[in-house]
C-alpha cells in the first residue's frame, strides 16, 4: 500500500510495509511540515500582479507556513491564489509588499479578501474547490457577545482621522461623547440643550448698595441688578472668565441709579450713574476691552 497524504498539510502517511529503513527521513520531514504549519513564518516575495501560494504533499512549501510576510515588488494589486483549491487553510498575513494583496482560492468567485499594504489580516480558505471562499476572520468579530459592525473607515475616524467633511448637522444626528469613561452616542439636540443651559450663568439679582461681581467659573454671566430700594454701585472683575466671554448687567428697576466700575483703570472705565444695560467682554484675558452701555 503506497503512502497517502493528509488533506490540508500534505503530511505523508506511510503505507503499511512501505519505506523500510527510511521511516526516519520521512517522519522528520513530516515533523518539519507540522512545525511550519503551527509556527512557521514565511517571507513571500510578490512580483507582477499574481502569485500562487502552493502547498505540495510531503514537501516543505511556502503555503505551509502559518504566518505570511509579504514583500517583493509587485507592479499593482497582487492576486494571491491559494493552491490547491481543496485544502482548508488559515493564515496570519502581514503585507509589506507596497501593494494591496487579494487572496483567493479556486477561481475567486466564492469570495476574496484584500489586505492593503502596511496592514495585517487573519484569513481562512474553505477548500471548496473551484468556487472556494476566502474569509476575513477579523470582519464582524464580537466583544462580550456584541458583534462589531463598524467599518474600518468609521473606526479610523474615531481614532482621530484627519479627513474632515462638511456634512450639515441636524438635531437628530448622533454625536459620540465620553460619558464618564464610557463612549456613547447622543443627539445634537441634546448637546444644544446642554450648551444653551450652561453657556451663561444667571445668578440671583443684586440688591445691596455695593457689590463686586467676580466670576468663579469660565462661564459668561447675565447679572440682574435691582435698584428699587437703593442706589447700587457694582464693580466688575475678570475673575475666571475666558477670553471672549462676557458679563451682561441688566438694571431691572427704573428707581435709583446703577453705577458700574472696574477694580482698576486698566480694566475699563466707570460707566457712571443711571446705567441701565451694559455688556463687558473679556477680549485679552486681563481687561474688559469692549464696553457698551445704555442709560435712561
Per-block mean pLDDT, blocks of 10 residues, the chain (296 long): 90 90 92 96 98 96 97 98 97 98 96 96 96 93 84 79 83 90 89 82 94 91 94 91 90 89 63 74 80 66
H or E element at residue 31: helix 23-39
- Does any domain span residue 84? yes
- Does any domain span residue 188? no
- Does any domain span residue 166? no
Q: How far apart are CA 114 and CA 99, in angstroms?
A: 10
Question: Strand 67-83 vs strand 41-54: parallel, antiparallel, or unpaired?
Answer: parallel
> Among 117, 136, 155, which residue terminates a domain?
136
Same-domain pairing of 8 and 130: yes
Q: CATH number of the domain that 208 lies in?
A: 2.60.120
Give the pLDDT confidence score for residue 262 in this predicted structure: 81
Same-domain pairing of 18 and 129: yes
H or E element at residue 156: helix 152-158
Same-domain pairing of 93 and 206: no
19 is written with which cell numbers?
519505506
Give the pLDDT confidence score for residue 265 in this predicted structure: 56
Question: Which residues make Cβ contacts (< 8 Å) with residue 162, sequence separation at least 6?
Answer: none
CA angle (154, 156, 157) in 5-degree steps: 65
> Which pTM was predicted?
0.61
Same-domain pairing of 107 and 222: no
Domain count, the chain: 2
Give the pLDDT confidence score for residue 250 in this predicted structure: 92
Q: How far apart are CA 44 and CA 55, in angstroms?
A: 13
Same-domain pairing of 289 and 206: yes
Q: How far apart are CA 158 and CA 261, in angstroms?
A: 48
- Domain holding 265, by residue range, is 198-295
Give the pLDDT confidence score for residue 77 in this predicted structure: 98
Q: How far apart are CA 12 and CA 14, in angstroms?
A: 6
Q: How far apart are CA 149 and CA 293, in angstroms?
A: 57
Instruction: Collapse the DSSP code of 168 into the 3-class scheme (helix H, G, I; strand E, B; otherwise coil) and give the result.
Output: coil
Q: How far apart are CA 130 and CA 65, in angstroms?
A: 22
- Does any domain span residue 155? no
Amino acid at each position: 500500500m503506497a503512502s497517502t497524504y493528509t488533506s490540508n498539510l500534505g503530511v505523508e502517511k506511510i503505507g503499511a510495509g512501505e519505506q523500510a529503513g527510511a521511516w526516519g527521513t520521512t517522519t522528520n520531514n513530516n515533523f518539519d511540515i507540522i512545525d511550519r504549519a503551527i509556527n512557521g513564518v514565511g517571507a513571500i516575495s510578490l512580483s507582477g500582479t499574481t502569485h500562487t501560494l502552493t502547498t505540495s504533499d510531503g514537501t516543505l512549501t511556502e503555503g505551509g507556513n502559518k504566518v505570511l510576510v509579504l514583500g517583493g515588488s509587485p507592479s499593482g494589486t497582487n492576486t494571491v491564489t491559494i493552491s490547491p483549491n481543496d485544502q482548508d487553510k488559515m493564515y496570519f498575513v502581514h503585507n509589506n509588499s507596497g501593494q494591496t494583496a487579494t487572496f483567493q482560492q479556486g477561481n475567486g468567485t466564492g469570495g476574496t479578501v484584500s489586505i492593503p499594504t502596511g496592514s495585517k489580516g487573519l484569513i481562512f480558505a474553505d477548500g471548496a474547490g473551484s468556487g472556494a471562499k476566502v474569509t476575513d476572520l477579523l470582519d464582524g468579530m464580537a466583544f462580550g457577545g456584541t458583534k462589531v459592525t463598524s467599518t474600518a473607515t468609521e473606526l479610523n475616524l474615531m481614532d482621530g482621522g484627519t479627513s474632515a467633511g462638511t456634512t450639515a448637522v441636524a438635531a437628530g444626528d448622533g454625536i459620540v461623547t465620553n460619558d464618564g469613561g464610557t463612549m456613547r452616542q447622543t443627539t445634537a439636540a441634546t448637546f444644544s440643550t446642554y450648551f444653551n443651559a450652561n453657556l451663561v450663568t444667571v445668578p440671583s439679582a443684586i440688591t445691596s448698595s455695593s457689590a463686586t461681581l467676580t466670576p468663579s467659573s469660565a462661564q459668561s454671566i447675565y447679572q440682574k441688578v435691582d435698584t428699587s430700594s437703593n442706589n447700587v454701585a457694582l464693580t466688575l472683575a475678570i475673575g475666571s472668565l475666558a477670553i471672549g466671554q462676557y458679563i451682561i448687567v441688566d438694571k431691572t428697576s427704573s428707581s435709583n441709579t446703577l453705577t458700574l466700575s472696574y477694580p482698576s483703570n486698566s480694566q475699563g472705565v466707570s460707566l457712571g450713574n443711571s446705567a441701565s444695560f451694559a455688556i463687558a467682554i473679556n477680549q485679552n484675558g486681563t481687561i474688559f476691552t469692549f464696553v457698551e452701555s445704555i442709560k435712561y
